[in-house]
Amino acid sequence: MCGFVGQIKNIASDFFSDYRDWREEIHHRGPDDQGTYIDEYVQFDFHRLSILDLKHGHQPMSDKSGRYIMVFNGEIYNFIELRMELEEAGVTFDTGSDTEVLLELYALEKERAVHRLRGMFAFVIWDKQEKRLFSARDHFSIKPLYFNETEEGMAFASEEKSLFQPGTRTLDSHSLQNYFTFQYVPGERCLLEGMQQLKPGHYLIKEPGKSPLTYEYHHLHFQPDSSKSFEEYVQQTRDVLEDSVQKHMRSDVPVGAFLSGGIDSTSIVALAKQHHPNIQTFTVGFERDGYSEIDLAQVTADQLGVENIHKVITPEEVIQELPNIIWHMDDPVADPAAIPNYFVSKEASKYVKVVLSGEGADELFAGYNIYREPLALKGFDYLPGFLKRALHHLARIFPEGMKGKSFLLRGTTSLSERYVGNAKIFDEQEKQALLLDYNKDFVFKHVTRALYQEVAHCDPTTQMQYIDLHTWLHGDILTIADRMTMAHSLELRVPFLDKEVFKVASKLPMDTKISNGTTKYVLRQAVRDLIPEPVTNRKKLGFPVPIRHWLKNELYEWATQLIRNSPVDDIFNKKEIWKLLDQHVRGKHDHSRKIWTILVFMVWHHMYMEQPSSVPGYETSFAKNLPRNREQNHSVRVPVHG
């Protein structure tokens, strides 16, 4: 796991653009080693987090011939198998790193090499002979890769902040509107104009004097296959997960795991324990009742016979660290789950250098409770159109909060109109009231329309999975996972998001996933003999965050101060923001997610637009109104029992 920045010029010269401290912006991604490569066309700067072959694997790395130079962020989990194949073909190796395997594989197979890789990766290779730059990103976009093109050439980096040049920054108005729908910026665009991300499953080719070209090498599709028995699907799921976890355990440094007490993380820990009996697990929670998984995780860890290390997070700590959280995110992501992810990563980094986590299980195996909604709304499919329209009109005039209103609205609205992913914050009418420069041509359906067309033949739940797989997963879940762990120089590995696991999951019929009144049914059956019985049927947990309560109490003064002082009057109608906060505090409506999305943007705007030279640790006045008489919580190590 590492970080890199670089650029390729259109014309050979000794001059390179002056990017603001671009090396130091990613030091947190790789504090163990640093390297640079420069020639007349390209410059690479690299920071390494040493995981495999700690003494070697220095980057930028060149192949045996010296023709190819590479920087690489990620892990290739099948590198041992690939190395054996290459050795049989006559290739010799100087290191035990997966970096050298990847580089030598590319030297032999060029862009075809990406089809052979099983792992998480973002890498850039410069061909000195052909004057050709090749870059690729993994199938799921676990690892980030940003780029922007200028008249001078193209710059690229592991984090967007490394590409910021001095001067005026402009918001991308399309991305701004999308942010307030999705709570993140979907797709390859970024919130700042001109910045882009390489899409998952894509590679990019750039030659001096030519525009970069991108190509898709892999597309994630669900292809249900009903030819097998349920027992066969269960066994396939178990086998591929065991293989994935075993390969994800390959490391020359200690490996731990996040543990929430739910089926996803518990499955990973149980499988990992077979290879590492003394694996440490990490959990966080909050002081408020109902918002802590520490007790569940401790019980689960005790039953599995592993150590659990946990921490309680206070509201004061949240505000103290919120600028750091948002700074590390690059574009704002208003998912409150970033908070516990940041703190659990900080805690884990004190003990291990690599952690396993359960991201991706919900998207692959249909784990979100909302995926059961099509079954609940099935009756509406039998109603004639005129009756559905009448019911929809009636529901719209019902008072907010009236029982049945939401059910009728959802049942009489098409899936493509109502479902944009796991979070829909503001609808178009609400955004029009909130944003001063709202553009009716930038509606959220521009993001999801093509995706719905690609799965029009599938059942509604599969369509929902597909939308989340291509938007929510990499825009929210994996962005948070990467940034919050790397903020603490911690490598995160996600065994569910393995291309071999996806091959199995993509062929599962719907009745193997949503069945017996539960989600992820086939996964639960596949690991039921490994995990404590109560966990098998436990509902999805995640890391709940008490934003709704905090905005009425502990964070109210902070929120009002931020809204009052934030110089964003040219972006927002602040009267709408005050109305949302007032209704929320008085208990009239739960607007916590809407308010939080606005507040996160305001903090982001302060650092990236108002103070573009800000770095983590700057003094903020946001927290000055918070009480300081609370006792600080400390980490607790829970020993193994039995």
Question: Which residues make up each annotated binding site for L-glutamine?
Answer: 98
CA atoms within 13 A on the CB side of 349: 19
Two structure tokens written together for 444: 């959220």
Any residues with CB less than 8 A from the CB of 424 and at least 6 apart, and which? 181, 182, 418, 444
Two structure tokens written together for 450: 């093509």
Binding residues for ATP are 284, 357-358
Which of 534, 236, 515, 471 lies closest to 367, judged by CA? 515
Distance CA 141, CA 120 (A): 8
CA atoms within 13 A on the CB side of 307: 15
Buried b (16+ CB within 10 A) or exposed e, 270-296: bbbbeebeebbbbbbbbebeebbbbeb
Contact (Cβ atoms closer than 8 angstroms) between residue 365 and residue 520: yes
Surface-to-core class of residue 500, CB atoms within 10 Å of its CB (0-12 exposed, 13-18 middle, 19+ buried): middle
Helices (H), 496-620: 499-505, 510-513, 521-526, 533-536, 547-550, 556-565, 574-585, 592-605
Contact (Cβ atoms closer than 8 angstroms) between residue 363 and residue 504: no
Any residues with CB less than 8 A from the CB of 70 and at least 6 apart, and which? 59, 60, 61, 62, 63, 99, 102, 103, 106, 123, 124, 125, 126
Using CA atoms, how far residue 446 sits from 17, 422, 443, in Å, is 35, 17, 6
Give me the catalytic one of 2, 154, 469, 551.
2
Name the CA radius of gyration of the chain, rounded: 25
Binding residues are 98, 284, 357-358
Establish whether the linkage from the previous residue to 166 is cis, with ω within 30° of 0: no
Contact (Cβ atoms closer than 8 angstroms) between residue 51 and residue 14: no
Task: Give the amino acid at 63.
Answer: D
Helix %, strand %, coil % for the chain, to 5?
40, 15, 40
Which of 542, 617, 53, 459 lies closest to 258, judged by CA? 542
Active site residue 190: no
| Beta-carbon count within 10 A of 502 CB | 22
DSSP states along 488-499:
TT-EEE-TTS-H
User: Cα 301 vs. chain centroid, distance in angstroms?
Assistant: 25
The residue whose two tokens read 């004057």 is 131
Which sequence positions are flagged as catalytic? 2
